[in-house]
Chain A
Amino acid sequence: MTTALTDLRPELHGPEQLDGTLQTKIRRTRREGFKVNWWMTALMLVASLTIMVPLYFTISMALKSPEQAASGTGFAWPADPQWQNFSQAFVLTNYPAAFMSTAFITVLSVLGALAASSMVAYAIVRNWDRKFFRLSYIYLLSAMFVPFPVVILPLIKQTAMFGLDNPLGVAFIHIVGGISFNSLLFIAFLRSVPIELEEAARLDGASTWQTFRKVIFPLLAPLSATVGIFAFLGSWNDFLLPQMLIADPALQTLPVVQQLFQGQFNTNYSLAFASYLMALAPTLLVYLFAQRWIMSGVMRGAVK
């Protein structure tokens, strides 16, 4: 170990010097491994309450009867859990159909966002010397300055004309609407990818598509995670677009059918929360399994 390092940088450190540094390093690492920063831990515990308390409310509310939900402060755990709330909410919202519709939109939006934005970014970055591509970059960015509610009515009209007043249309609008922000992220990242990597592939006879598919896209993986997560959350939780665009009530998505529990003057809290929990479950599961990539992805996106 020591010799290998010494071999690598012989001109920087003499063997003894390096040995000494390494020793301190190992010692410090060990100490830090055992040392607990109690202040920080306490702070993080308190911070975690911002997630845990609402989650506790959601779960306990979902298991209460309407009488229990209306009494007390709401913190009490239900005396006899009403598991049938879930089956009732399941039937009322026609959960399988709404779930499939939401999942369809989400999968298409995520895949579409990744494919479309990365290709757009690649084309723009590698053709930066041409005026057309520089202009299209500005054109795409300017879309970020158009507030969505301004275009909603024309969008409804257009999607209906093209037969897209269904989940497919919602996914399409999600992809198109996300291109400006997503390709901005991809473009910033692609600028730091050295062109030499591509030249190597070109020398081996790769076409543009092969270069993109085999060399560039794999390099974009960390950023793809970020974009994918944004696209997932945005399309899974979206309310306005499906509410406005989907004409057939049978194809409506989960967030929209859940309005069912909220009247103007009455809210059926226990059924509503049971239903929210069922809609929440996929997001929660995705987070549990993908949190490693989510964390690295979020940090990747932080520095543009």
Chain B
Amino acid sequence: MAAVAAAGLVLPACSGAAAGTITTIRLQQNKPEVVEYFNALIKDFESKNPDIRVVQDFNAGNWVPGLIRDSPADVVTNAYSVTVADFTRKGIFADLSDLPAAAMTDPKALELINSFGQYQDSELSALPFSLAAAGVIYNKALFSQHGVDVPTTWSEFLGACTKFQAAGLTPIYGTFKDSWTLGQPYGYASGGTVDLADFFSRMPLTAEDLKSNPDVSFGSDFKIATDKFLKILGFMQKGAGSRSYTDGNAAFAKGGAAMYMQGPWALSELTTINPDLKVGIFALPMSEDPAETKAQVTLDMTFSIVRSTPRLEAAKRFVSYLMDPAVVNAYNNKFSAFSPLKEATVNANPQISGLQPLITSGKYYLNVTNYFPPAITLNNYFQTLALNRNDKAFLTTLDDAWHRVATRNA
């Protein structure tokens, strides 16, 4: 045993290490578009850690089967939401709070992760690697052409929309055909008027909760948000119901509207279609006090280590390498996202820099859709609301659906 340990210490120094001393770990990576980028990171990591080999698996469908056959990947990336938190609460992931990276991360970002629930109410099951901040994408040329400034209050925003409308221009481009795109405007409307983390922590999750805690509901707390959402939709073009996400990208890139409510993922699509397009992002103000405006984020990529892995040390070294500020900042700069570290570099990308001050000062909330379990077909409800504009029916449907799912959960 001692001999093996000694060999393990000596051998990494020479390049031709024997096969027995190399630990191979598997990384389950959930974003197909960054597979190549991660291959380069892995190469760099392996050259610095010759005793570890990393295999990247981008077949996201392999995660649950891996758990079933008791051989899940050692390190997993996730877009963290209530679905992933389900695994956290069951103790699938190892505690990462003792990693140095946990201390380097912005407590506000860790709070977002923990707000979904922790294993044994104390563990940290995921480390945030990338925050995707979303806001209203606006066409800079059209704004200056019509003499409109970036709105800082809700009434300024309504004023800007009316001004574009009077000039015969579509204020906001809507794409209801892809129902998920409605999650953006609804996210701004609800995130700006409701304390989402607090609200969802009070919502009943199980049949047990349902008995003791029946007086919290969408019907009472989301009324204003839904009304403002419908007001926003009123400024979208006619026929938005038959336009898809791809149509929206093409139309907005060609100057078909002044504003577009999409996340940063649309930016690269927009510049591919029209390389000359100049866009910026602002957080949609939902009140009359500019200081209350917050940015909407998603925990686009987080790292977790599987608790049962026999290669825990190697996995921790790999995650620590990935959470190195140089790696985190380089990645987020390249993919138009924000670093969740305390020592984050400022993202110089003019397309998203409008949100930087809010992120730096910790004024952000999670998109509302992240709190809904997949059993609630939220996007379909959004679409129905967008087409029939019946806010009462929408809120009742949400409450009913939530209670139905909670009743099922033991």
A266, closest chain B residue (CB): B33
Give per-residue flags for B320-357: 1 if the beta carbon is below 8 A from chain A beta carbons, else 0: 00000000000000000000000000000000000000
On chain B, the residues within 8 Å of A302 by CB distance are none
Q: Does A125 contact B (CB under 8 A)?
A: no
Q: Which of A156, A260, A265: most chain B CB closer than 10 A?
A: A265
On chain A, the residues within 8 Å of B245 by CB distance are 265
On chain B, the residues within 8 Å of A156 by CB distance are 65, 68-69
Residue contact A243 to B59, C-beta cutoff 8 Å? yes
Residue contact A262 to B59, C-beta cutoff 8 Å? no
Assembly CA distance A247 to B28 (angstroms): 12
A250, closest chain B residue (CB): B55
Give per-residue flags for A149-166: 1 if the beta carbon is below 8 A from chain B beta carbons, else 0: 000010011011000010
Residue contact B59 to A252, C-beta cutoff 8 Å? yes
On chain A, the residues within 8 Å of B269 by CB distance are 70, 265-266
Question: Which of B219-227, B260-268, B367-375 interfaces with chain A?
Answer: B260-268
Assembly CA distance A92 to B70 (angstroms): 29
On chain B, the residues within 8 Å of A249 by CB distance are 26, 55-59, 62
Residue contact A157 to B265, C-beta cutoff 8 Å? no
Residue in contact with B66 in the complex, picked from A66, A67, A247, A252, CB distance below 8 Å: A247
Contact residues, A54-96 vs B (CB, 8 A):
66-67, 70-71, 92
Q: Does A29 contact B (CB under 8 A)?
A: no
Residue contact A265 to B266, C-beta cutoff 8 Å? yes
State how many angstroms separate the Cβ of B336 from the closest Cβ of chain A.
Answer: 12
Residue in contact with A243 in the complex, picked from B55, B61, B69, CB distance below 8 Å: B61
On chain B, the residues within 8 Å of A244 by CB distance are 61-62, 65
Q: Does B71 contact A (CB under 8 A)?
A: yes
On chain A, the residues within 8 Å of B250 by CB distance are 70
B58, closest chain A residue (CB): A260
Q: Does A256 contact B (CB under 8 A)?
A: yes
Residue in contact with B68 in the complex, picked from A157, A243, A252, A268, CB distance below 8 Å: A157
Give per-residue flags for B61-80: 1 if the beta carbon is below 8 A from chain A beta carbons, else 0: 11001101111000000000
State how many angstroms separate the Cβ of B269 from the closest Cβ of chain A.
Answer: 6
Residue contact A266 to B62, C-beta cutoff 8 Å? no
Residue contact A92 to B36, C-beta cutoff 8 Å? yes
Residue in contact with B69 in the complex, picked from A92, A165, A261, A266, CB distance below 8 Å: A165
On chain B, the residues within 8 Å of A153 by CB distance are 68
State how many angstroms separate the Cβ of A274 from the closest Cβ of chain B.
Answer: 16
Give per-residue flags for A246-286: 1 if the beta carbon is below 8 A from chain B beta carbons, else 0: 11011010001101111111101000000000000000000
A contact face: mostly helix, strand, loop, or mixed = helix
Assembly CA distance A266 to B32 (angstroms): 9
Assembly CA distance A143 to B402 (angstroms): 36
Assembly CA distance A249 to B33 (angstroms): 17
Assembly CA distance A266 to B273 (angstroms): 13
Residue contact A263 to B58, C-beta cutoff 8 Å? no
Residue in contact with A160 in the complex, picked from B35, B58, B68, B266, CB distance below 8 Å: B68
Assembly CA distance A184 to B129 (angstroms): 54
Q: Does A175 contact B (CB under 8 A)?
A: no
On chain B, the residues within 8 Å of A264 by CB distance are 31, 265
Assembly CA distance A259 to B31 (angstroms): 10
A160-B70 contact, Cβ under 8 Å, with A245-B65, A264-B265, A266-B268: yes
Give per-residue flags for B260-296: 1 if the beta carbon is below 8 A from chain A beta carbons, else 0: 0001011011001101000000000000000000000
Residue contact B35 to A260, C-beta cutoff 8 Å? yes
A157-B69 contact, Cβ under 8 Å, with A243-B62, A262-B32: yes
Residue contact A70 to B65, C-beta cutoff 8 Å? no
Residue contact A247 to B265, C-beta cutoff 8 Å? no
B73, closest chain A residue (CB): A249
Residue in contact with B59 in the complex, picked from A67, A259, A261, CB distance below 8 Å: A259
Assembly CA distance A262 to B246 (angstroms): 13
Residue contact B35 to A70, C-beta cutoff 8 Å? no
Residue contact A263 to B31, C-beta cutoff 8 Å? yes
Assembly CA distance A160 to B71 (angstroms): 9
Residue contact B69 to A263, C-beta cutoff 8 Å? no
State how many angstroms separate the Cβ of B231 from the closest Cβ of chain A.
Answer: 26
Give per-residue flags for B37-73: 1 if the beta carbon is below 8 A from chain A beta carbons, else 0: 0000000000000000001111111100110111100
On chain A, the residues within 8 Å of B268 by CB distance are 266
Residue contact A70 to B273, C-beta cutoff 8 Å? yes
State how many angstroms separate the Cβ of A254 from the closest Cβ of chain B.
Answer: 12
On chain A, the residues within 8 Å of B58 by CB distance are 249, 259-260
A265, closest chain B residue (CB): B265
State how many angstroms separate the Cβ of A82 from the closest Cβ of chain B.
Answer: 14
On chain A, the residues within 8 Å of B275 by CB distance are 67
A266-B265 contact, Cβ under 8 Å, with A259-B59, A260-B58: yes
State how many angstroms separate the Cβ of B278 from the closest Cβ of chain A.
Answer: 18
B264, closest chain A residue (CB): A265
Contact residues, A156-200 vs B (CB, 8 A):
156-157, 159-160, 165
State how many angstroms separate the Cβ of A212 from the closest Cβ of chain B.
Answer: 38
Residue contact B59 to A256, C-beta cutoff 8 Å? yes
B61, closest chain A residue (CB): A243
State how many angstroms separate the Cβ of A247 from the closest Cβ of chain B.
Answer: 6
Assembly CA distance A261 to B65 (angstroms): 22
- Identify 15 residue pairs between A and B in the complex whose beta-carbon atoms are under 8 Å apart, listed by A's number: A66-B272, A156-B69, A244-B62, A247-B62, A249-B56, A249-B57, A249-B59, A249-B62, A256-B61, A259-B32, A260-B32, A262-B32, A264-B265, A265-B265, A265-B269
* 10 A-B pairs with least C-beta separation: A160-B69, A265-B265, A249-B57, A263-B33, A243-B61, A70-B273, A156-B65, A156-B68, A260-B32, A263-B32
- Contact residues of B with A, CB < 8 Å? 26, 31-33, 35-36, 55-62, 65-66, 68-71, 245, 250, 263, 265-266, 268-269, 272-273, 275
Known pairs A246-B62, A262-B32, A266-B269. 12 more at Cβ < 8 A? Answer: A70-B250, A160-B69, A160-B70, A244-B61, A249-B59, A259-B58, A259-B60, A260-B32, A261-B32, A263-B32, A263-B265, A266-B268
